[in-house]
Chain A
Amino acid sequence: MDLKGNIKNILVYLLVLLAQIFLLRDLGIGGKAFLFLYTYIVIKAPIFTNRNLLVFLSFLAGWLVDWFYDTHGLHAFSLVLIAYLRPLIFKMLTPANGYDERSKVSLREMTWLWYLPYVSIMLFIHHSVLFILEAFDPSLLGLSLLKIFLSTLLGLVTFLLIELFSTE
C-alpha cells in the first residue's frame, strides 16, 4: 500500500469515526437496529494489514467510541475481538485461488459468496459480544438476540450500499 492510499485510508477512518460519534450515536431504528459504522475500520482494512497494528488501532478506535457512548471498554472489546479473529475468518473463507498481495476487501475483487459471509460473520461476532455484554443480564437475552440480528442485517445492507457506491 502506497503512501497516498494510506493517507486516504486514515482520512476515511476518521470520517467514519466522526460519523459514528456525532450522527449515528442517537440513531436507532425502533430502538432495536443500530448501525455501528465504525466496524468499517476493521472490516474494510486491506487483507494483508499487519494483524498487531490492526488490533492496536481498533483498540484506539473502540476506546474513542466508548468515550462518547459512555460505555467504558464495550466497543473497544468488541472491535479488538473482530480485529484479532479476522485472519481466521479469512482462512475459513479462502477462495479457490487464494488471496494475493494486492487483494482488497471489496465486492469488485471478491465474489458475493465471499463478501456476504465475511461481512455477516464479522458484524455478527461484533454485535453479539457488544449487545450481550451491554445487557449483561440473562433475562434480556431475547431482546439482545433480536437487536443482534436486526443490527447485523442493517450493517450488512449498509456495507453493501457502500460497495455499490464506492468508486474504487
Chain B
Amino acid sequence: MYQLLQFLIRQRGFFLFIVLELISIGAVFTYNNYQHAFYFNTSNSFAANLLSQVEKIKTYHNLLEVNEVLSQENARLQNELFQLRNKQNAPSELPYFASQAVLRQYQLSAAKIIVQSTHASQNYLTIDKGFRDGIRPGMAVISSTGIVGKVISCTENLSLVISVLNTINSVSGKIKKNGELGFVKWSGWQPEVVDFMDVSKYKKVSKGDTIVTSDYNSVFPRDIPIGVVAKLGIKDDGNFHDIKVLLFTKFNTLQYVYVVKNTLISQQQKLEEAIPKSE
C-alpha cells in the first residue's frame, strides 16, 4: 500500500496528465456526439451572451451599408405599393382597367441626404442623386413615413430639394376620412408642425384625423401620408378652420428619402396646357 502510494506520488505529474486528459476526452465523447441543442446549457448561454455582445459591436460597423440596402429595398417595395394602389382604384360600377402605363406611373429611387436644415425659415435638403440617376426638377420627395418636399434643381450627381418646411412651398392635401381638400403650408417655425389651410369651418374636422396628399396633385402621388390633426381652431377671419398638423416625417432624424418619378407628368402637363383659357 505504502509502495503504491509512493509510486503515485512519484508519478504525480503523469497522473495529473492522465486525469485531465480523461476529463477532456470524456467531455468530448459525452457532449460532442449530441447535437448543439443539448449542451446549450446555462454556462454556455453565458458564453453565447458575451459573443453576441461582440457580434453587436461588429454589426455596428456594417450599419451604414445595411441602411443603404434597406432603403433601396424600401424603394422597391414602395414602387410595388404604388402599382397596387393604382390597380385598386375606387370601386366603380363600370368595368375599369388601369393601363400598364398608369400602373407604372410612379417610380421611386432611394437617396441619401447630404445636407439639410430644419431650423432656418426656408429649409432645403441636398440629396446624393442627380441628373445621372434620372432625377429632374419637379419630382416629389417622400420619406418612409411621409412627405418631404420637391426637387427644385439638379446637377450631374446632386439635387436640391425644397422642404415642406419652407413657407413658399405648399402641398395640396385632403383629410383622409372624408376627402375634404385643403393645402399644407409651413408657418415658419417648429419643424414638426404645419398648417392645413382652406378648410371651411362648416366642414367636419376632428382631432386625430389623418391628412394625406390629394388626388389633384401634380407633384405627389395621391394618399401619401402628411400628418395628423393636432390642434383645431377657427381662423381670425372666421371663415376657415385653423388646423395644426403634426408631420409624420421626422425631419430632425431623416437620413434617407425616396424621389418619386412621375412617368406621366409630361403628358399630364401637355393636356393641361390645352385647357382653353377663359379670357
Q: Chain A: residues with CB nearer than 8 A to chain B?
A: 22, 25, 51-52, 55-56, 59, 62-63, 66-68, 70-74, 76-77, 80-81, 84, 133, 136
Contact = CB atoms under 8 A, between A and B. Distances in A.
* Residue picked from B12, B13, B21, B24, most chain A C-beta under 10 Å: B24
Given A51-B13, A67-B43, A73 B51 contact: no
B28 interface: yes
Contact of A73 (B28, B44, B54): B28
Interface in B3-17: 12-13, 16-17
A77 B16 contact: no
B16 A73 contact: no
A67 B20 contact: no
B39 interface: yes
29 contacts: A22-B54, A25-B51, A51-B13, A52-B12, A52-B13, A52-B16, A55-B13, A56-B16, A59-B20, A59-B23, A63-B24, A67-B43, A67-B47, A68-B51, A70-B44, A70-B47, A72-B32, A73-B23, A73-B24, A73-B25, A74-B24, A74-B28, A76-B24, A77-B25, A80-B20, A80-B21, A81-B21, A84-B13, A133-B28
Interface in B187-210: none
B78 to A, nearest CB: 36
The B interface is mostly helix, strand or loop, or mixed, namely helix
B45 to A, nearest CB: 11
Given A51-B13, A52-B12, A72 B21 contact: no
The A interface is mostly helix, strand or loop, or mixed, namely helix
Interface string B35-51: 01001000110010011
B30 A76 contact: no
Interface of B: 12-13, 16-17, 20-21, 23-28, 30-32, 36, 39, 43-44, 47, 50-51, 54
Nearest to B55: A26
B28 A56 contact: no
Nearest to B32: A72
B106 to A, nearest CB: 43
A70 B32 CA distance: 9
Contacts of A22: 51, 54
